[in-house]
Chains A and B, each alone.
Chain A
Amino acid sequence: MLLSKLPPGMRYYLGAEARLRRFVEDTAMSVFEGWSYEEVLTPSVDYYALFEQGMGVSEAQSSFRFTDTDGSMLSLRPDVTSSVARVAATLLADSSRPLRLCYASPVFRQQQQSHAEWRRENTQLGGELIGTGGSAADLEVLLLATEILQRIGLTGSFCITINDVGILNGLLSELDLDKLARESIRRLIDTRDSTELDKFLQQLSISPAIKQSLSTITQLTGKREVLDKAKTIISNSDALVAVNKLAELWSAIESLGLEEAFEVDLADVSSLDYYTGLSFKIFVRGVGYRVGRGGRYDGLTANFGTAEPAIGFVLSLDSLVEVLGRNSSANGKNGHEVQSLVTSELAATFKEALQRRSNNEKIRIESTS
């Protein structure tokens, strides 16, 4: 075994990159603070069962697992949300609602190498708003994400795509499909594979109207016109409720003058069962993969006792640092001037050092030898 080798998906952060990382993290946390979010730190190791409940089996399976002394399965945390949902339903069960919680924590997932998501350690900057539903909560979280991206210098370089899983779930609820078929349809819509979707729908005995709605959804990406179009092709009432909620959100986004940074994408459905309403993804110019995602998961806290509305999002600190590091020329030294102290007489040198430090000066001890 070569000791110089790093495991795949792991890396160092040194010098300017480490400073940039600190800047992005501090900026994000100060924005959370500004919106009254309290920081929470969750355990790095937890029961695998927690994540299976919290993320769903297929996502949880990407975690690094090992066994506890009593044989129960443990996991390096693959997400933070599961643990936050549990603490909200247990320790914070009697705290007044809504809860506003945030974190900056590394998560660990086994990723296949040579894919765009290659990192196996990834620090999530995340926020959760628990105990309140409705458009105000949805918009708050979207604007929070927007402010973080703006404050770290990405104004004009990012796009947040919004969707509501209620639309596809509404349409699918009219069909008597097994889990496998639902998942196939979801995947084909999510990858805009209209050719295979049409072939797949052809084998099912479903009404031409629903067939039409499903295959049109793969095309519905854009601004307000997408929602207008959706209203004309959808007849299912649950789906229409979801479309109207998105339209209300879009109107607010427009009145705030933010429509350039947002996009409606009704085909973006990465899971049918995790999110229960608004879902969104965050893209930044220069990164081929989403740098963040979020949405409403009103069913999540029910796993731990009480069901309550909740919405949250995460940004990948590592992806943000990657793109900012590539873009910025401000990768130089950090601001403060350094005072060099030469160690001639030990006590005298360090007496001066302590005095300068008490004035918050930056010092560097130079050895004479």
Chain B
Amino acid sequence: MITIAIAKGRMQDDALALLAEAGVRLSAEALASRKLALEDDSGLYRFIFVKPADVPVYVEHGIADCGVVGRDVLLESEADVLLPLDLRIARCRLVVAAIDPEVITRSFGMLRVATKYARLAGAHFGARGIPVEIISLSGSVELAPALGLADVIVDLVETGRTLQENGLQVVEVITESTGRLVVNRASFQLKAEEISRLTGALERVLQGVTTK
């Protein structure tokens, strides 16, 4: 049996829809339940639903063989996992945003950065030689500049509406992110057949989507 960790939230519905197209289906009753671990109709797959940041943890440890999670989360986690497929779901951008975009070029002192992506933000400004104080938050990051907690934020943007409503503008795009299929290194070898059956099925669905 293959265990697939799914990032709860934003990506969950798209991920399950894609997997269903690839023939890996959860019954309606199973989906309606509040269980965090479920088996699919065929009994070949087990799903576990965890917070996005925990997907790479489960997969790297091999507790889950595969996972579906955003590239942003993977980059932040530095987990040593394989990323064989871009599922092209939940597309978004990781950006630097500020109320006044010029704050970055103006501040030769210390730039205060509020973010859920402490590592990526640190690396981004580090590469430019900009001294920063990283303020790690776990949500509602967009509030920080307006309240004076930070000069800029580094956050994920899908439509840009939340930024707008909080008076923020995108200063630069750090990277793009989409949902990825990740695979544990040991499972990739020890369960090679089952894994390639899954990736093959997903790949066929994805190719179908693009040729439409």
For residues 140 through 183 of chain B, which have their beta carbon under 8 Å from a beta carbon of chain A? Answer: 183
CB-CB under 8 A for A116 and B62, given A194-B84, A283-B185:
yes
* Shortest distance from the beta carbon of A261 to any chain B beta carbon, whole Å: 11
Interface pair A285/B190, CB less than 8 Å apart:
yes
Interface pair A191/B79, CB less than 8 Å apart:
no
* Shortest distance from the beta carbon of A264 to any chain B beta carbon, whole Å: 11
Interface pair B81/A191, CB less than 8 Å apart:
yes
At the interface, yes or no: A287 with Cβ under 8 Å from chain B?
yes
Interface pair B80/A116, CB less than 8 Å apart:
yes
Interface size for A (C-beta < 8 A) is 25
At the interface, yes or no: B194 with Cβ under 8 Å from chain A?
no
Interface pair B184/A221, CB less than 8 Å apart:
no
At the interface, yes or no: A245 with Cβ under 8 Å from chain B?
no
Interface pair A288/B186, CB less than 8 Å apart:
yes
At the interface, yes or no: A298 with Cβ under 8 Å from chain B?
no
Contact of A116 (CB < 8 Å), options: B60, B83, B188: B60
B56 — nearest CB in chain A belongs to which residue? A115
Neighbouring A residues of B86 by C-beta, 8 Å: 195
At the interface, yes or no: B57 with Cβ under 8 Å from chain A?
yes
For residues 282 through 306 of chain A, which have their beta carbon under 8 Å from a beta carbon of chain B? Answer: 283-285, 287-290
Interface pair B82/A159, CB less than 8 Å apart:
no
* Shortest distance from the beta carbon of A159 to any chain B beta carbon, whole Å: 5
At the interface, yes or no: B63 with Cβ under 8 Å from chain A?
yes
At the interface, yes or no: A265 with Cβ under 8 Å from chain B?
yes
A161 — nearest CB in chain B belongs to which residue? B189
For residues 52 through 86 of chain B, which have their beta carbon under 8 Å from a beta carbon of chain A? Answer: 57, 60-63, 78-86
Interface pair B189/A191, CB less than 8 Å apart:
no
For residues 180 through 195 of chain A, which have their beta carbon under 8 Å from a beta carbon of chain B? Answer: 191-195
CB-CB under 8 A for A193 and B192, given A116-B62, A288-B60, A288-B61:
no
Q: Which residues of A contact B (CB under 8 A)?
A: 112, 114-117, 159, 161, 191-196, 218, 221-222, 263, 265, 283-285, 287-290
Other A-B pairs beyond A159-B189, A195-B86, A290-B185, 16, CB < 8 Å: A115-B79, A116-B60, A116-B61, A116-B62, A161-B189, A193-B83, A195-B85, A221-B188, A284-B186, A287-B62, A288-B61, A288-B63, A288-B185, A289-B60, A289-B61, A289-B62
Q: Which residues of B contact A (CB under 8 A)?
A: 57, 60-63, 78-86, 183-190, 192
